[in-house]
Amino acid sequence: MSRIHEFVGDHLPCVDVERALVHKAASLCASTRWHPGEADVQRGRAVLQEAFEQPHNLPLPEFARLAGKSRQQIYKDIKAHRLLALSVGPRGQKLPDWQLDPVKLQLTQVVLQKAEGIDPWTMYRALSEPLEGLGGCSPIESVIAGSIDDIALAVLNVLGVH
């Protein structure tokens, strides 16, 4: 006996179940595609701007100075996915200061390498926002030398990278 027969028994023929499922699935689809309005876009930009201006996000020249590297080397590291850099329009780039810590940098690099193609803001949020599986702490707050692979796996799961 097939699973669908086990589920419906002899009460409904399979065809009726299939029609019901097709109808239910169709009812879950919107008739028109959602497009963000101007107010939605402005709210989104305001949220990005607020995060961009957080004190832990350092302007590239300051990050380079603290890292003991040239600006050119920082640009190369960003391009090679060795550093996470954020940008909002023409305001330049900022780098989260956690990347000055070797263990947190290693976590960031693992995520950058394995989640190539995912936008930097999405990665930033996945690394910096609390995760239930980490006791409500962010991956960046939780990572220690022996936990990089496990924490990276949690972040990649959040990003949908397997």
Residue 34 lies in a domain: no
| Whether this model's pTM surpasses 0.75 | no
Question: What pLDDT shows up at residue 13?
Answer: 62
Q: Which helix or strand (DSSP H or E) is residue 140 part of?
A: helix 139-142
Task: Identify which of 134, 92, 94, 126 has the alpha carbon closest to the alpha carbon of residue 107.
Answer: 126
Residue 10 lies in a domain: no
Bridge partners for 131 per DSSP: 137
Is residue 6 over pLDDT 70? no
CA–CA gap between residue 105 and residue 108 (Å, rounded): 5
Residue 116 lies in a domain: yes
Bridge partners for 87 per DSSP: 93
> Which residues span the domain enclosing 141?
58-159
Question: What pLDDT shows up at residue 14?
Answer: 67
Per-residue CA distances from 119 to 41, 69, 76 (Å): 17, 25, 18
Total structural domains within the chain: 1
